[in-house]
């Protein structure tokens, strides 16, 4: 008999998140009511914002409720439907959470073409992270041909798309990534002109050498010391898209340098949240899907097996153990 395996938030972390913060339970498969759809998940998306939701603190995303199924993006197949917009067998992307099955009223559910690309791409380059990259680059940085764009977490779900889009826009692209393997991939597969390993003891010197013309656009995913170093290399009138500060999600402090830098360099720094721009998602996903079809957009995934391993997958993501989009394959 099929059952619904679910991962609940059991208690909030007081320090770093651990598997003990979660509880795995087995429940009956839910029955869809009038207008509802039953989806069997194929993959769950692991995203850095989930760490913020574990705290009971005011943020752009509501805190995760204790005792409830952890929220999160999912792709899967419609198993039963009482909603005329969906049919059994449809591939769908939604917010089904950390569980094998979910029931939806269809509002947050979208059918996708799982023949064009593997279904999990709609959680990565052709989904929320891809739109994030598209928005921050095109609406905040607005790169011009010949400018230099620096991207941190350059091989991650968001960063890998930023680097490729910036290159297509004619920019010189420089990535920051953790370790020689990620840096080699950044240059060979993602087309970055250079990549600097933030774990290198001579990181600051290597970053300076990789940026002979300074930085015109900075796509910031991390914060911390690499961000501080990058601010020193900004050109006059440069643009900084503050997308994420993952280095501080488990409590490390973030700090801005001396405020005079804003005045001296006349640069713009703008934070953004992709869900504030839902009107642009169809345009962004359309463009990203066209690039993927033309083989001009590539990506990489780290796939963990089994729902019960989802908490560890989140922990590993927060420690930079992923290489590309972090996913859990649902059994
Ligand atoms: N603003 C928005 O709407 C929005 C939407 C989606 C994502 N984001 C943000 O975008 C950033 C990237 O998200 P993603 O989903 O694409 O994740 P990701 O880049 O696939 O994974 C996170 C990566 O961050 C890097 N990292 C660097 N320093 C780190 C540190 N001190 N601790 C942990 N990781 C570190 C690691 O790569 P290296 O090994 O290469 O360092 C790690 O693999 C995150 O900050 C996220 O919160 C924002």
Please work out whether the CB of residue 124 comes within 6 Å of at least one atom of ligand 1.
no
- HSE, CB side, 13 Å, CA atoms: give it for residue 170: 6
Helix (H) or strand (E) holding 184: helix 180-188
- Phi/psi of residue 145, nearest 5 degrees: -55, 135
Read off the tokens for 39. 């989806």
CA distance readout (Å), 98 to 33, 50, 232, 308, 309: 21, 11, 41, 9, 10
Q: What is the mean pLDDT of residues 16-42?
A: 97
Q: What is the mean pLDDT of residues 286-307?
A: 98
Whether 257 shows a pLDDT value over 90: the answer reads no
Alpha-carbon distance of 232 to 294, in angstroms, equals 37
Distance 157 CA to ligand 1 centre (A): 8
Please work out whether the CB of residue 159 comes within 6 Å of at least one atom of ligand 1.
yes
Please work out whether the CB of residue 49 comes within 6 Å of at least one atom of ligand 1.
yes
Exposure string of 170-205, with b = 16+ CB inside 10 Å and e = fewer, is ebbbbbbbbeeebbebbbeebbbbbbbbbeeeebbe
Average pLDDT of the chain? 96
Question: pLDDT band at 254, cuts 50/70/90?
Answer: confident
Q: Which residue from 49, 150, 199, 222 has its CB within 8 A of the most atoms of ligand 1, so it is best to mutate? A: 222
- Phi/psi of residue 106, nearest 5 degrees: 95, -15
Whether 255 shows a pLDDT value over 80: the answer reads no
Give the whole-number percent of the chain exceeding pLDDT 90. 94
Please work out whether the CB of residue 80 comes within 6 Å of at least one atom of ligand 1.
no
Please work out whether the CB of residue 114 comes within 6 Å of at least one atom of ligand 1.
no
Give the tens place of pLDDT for each residue, 110-157. 999 999 999 999 999 999 999 999 999 999 999 999 999 999 999 999
Helix (H) or strand (E) holding 131: helix 128-135
Residue from 173, 318, 312, 170 nearest 328 by CA: 312
Whether 191 shows a pLDDT value over 80: the answer reads yes
Give the whole-number percent of the chain exceeding pLDDT 70. 100
- Give the residue, 299 or 250, on which the prediction is more confident: 299
Please work out whether the CB of residue 247 comes within 6 Å of at least one atom of ligand 1.
yes
Q: Is 79 exposed, middle or buried (0-12, 13-18, 19+ CB in 10 A)?
A: middle
Please work out whether the CB of residue 244 comes within 6 Å of at least one atom of ligand 1.
yes
> What pLDDT does 1 receive?
56
Please work out whether the CB of residue 153 comes within 6 Å of at least one atom of ligand 1.
yes
Helix (H) or strand (E) holding 148: strand 148-152
User: pTM, whole model, 2 decimals?
Assistant: 0.97
Q: Are 164 and 296 in contact (CB under 8 A)?
A: yes
> What pLDDT does 253 receive?
82
Give the tens place of pLDDT for each residue, 54-96. 999 888 888 999 999 999 999 999 999 999 999 999 999 999 9
Q: Given the CA of residue 199, which atom of ligand 1 is nearest to it?
A: 41
> What pLDDT does 304 receive?
98
Residue 58 three-state SS: coil
Q: Given the CA of residue 319, which atom of ligand 1 is nearest to it?
A: 33
> What pLDDT does 178 receive?
97
């Amino acid at each position: 008999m099929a059952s619904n395996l679910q991962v609940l938030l059991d208690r909030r972390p007081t320090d770093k998140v651990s598997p003990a913060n979660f509880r795995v339970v087995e429940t009956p498969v839910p029955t869809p009511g009038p207008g509802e759809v039953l989806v069997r998940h194929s993959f769950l998306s692991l995203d850095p914002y989930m760490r913020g939701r574990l705290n009971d603190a005011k943020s752009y995303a509501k805190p995760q409720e204790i005792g409830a199924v952890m929220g999160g993006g999912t792709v899967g197949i419609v198993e039963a439907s009482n909603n005329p917009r969906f049919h059994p067998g449809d591939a769908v992307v939604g917010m089904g959470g950390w569980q094998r099955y979910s029931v939806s009223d269809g509002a947050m559910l979208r059918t996708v073409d799982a023949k064009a690309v593997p279904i999990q791409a709609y959680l990565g380059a052709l989904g929320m992270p891809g739109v994030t990259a598209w928005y921050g680059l095109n609406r905040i940085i607005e790169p011009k041909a010949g400018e230099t764009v620096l991207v941190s977490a350059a091989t991650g779900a968001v960063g890998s798309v930023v680097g490729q889009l910036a290159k297509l826009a004619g920019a010189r692209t420089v990535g920051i990534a953790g370790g020689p393997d990620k840096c080699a991939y950044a240059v060979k597969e993602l087309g970055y002109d250079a990549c600097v390993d933030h774990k290198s003891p001579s990181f600051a010197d290597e970053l300076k050498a990789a940026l002979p013309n300074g930085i015109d656009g900075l796509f910031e995913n991390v914060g911390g010391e690499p961000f501080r170093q990058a601010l020193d290399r900004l050109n006059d009138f440069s643009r900084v898209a503050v997308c994420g500060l993952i280095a501080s999600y488990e409590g490390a402090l973030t700090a801005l340098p001396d405020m005079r830098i804003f005045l001296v360099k006349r640069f713009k720094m703008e934070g953004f949240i992709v869900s504030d721009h839902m009107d642009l998602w169809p345009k962004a996903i359309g463009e990203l899907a066209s690039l993927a079809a033309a083989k001009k957009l590539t990506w990489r995934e780290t796939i963990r097996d089994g729902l019960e391993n989802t908490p560890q997958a989140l922990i590993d993501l927060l420690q930079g153990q992923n290489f590309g989009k972090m996913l859990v394959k649902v059994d």
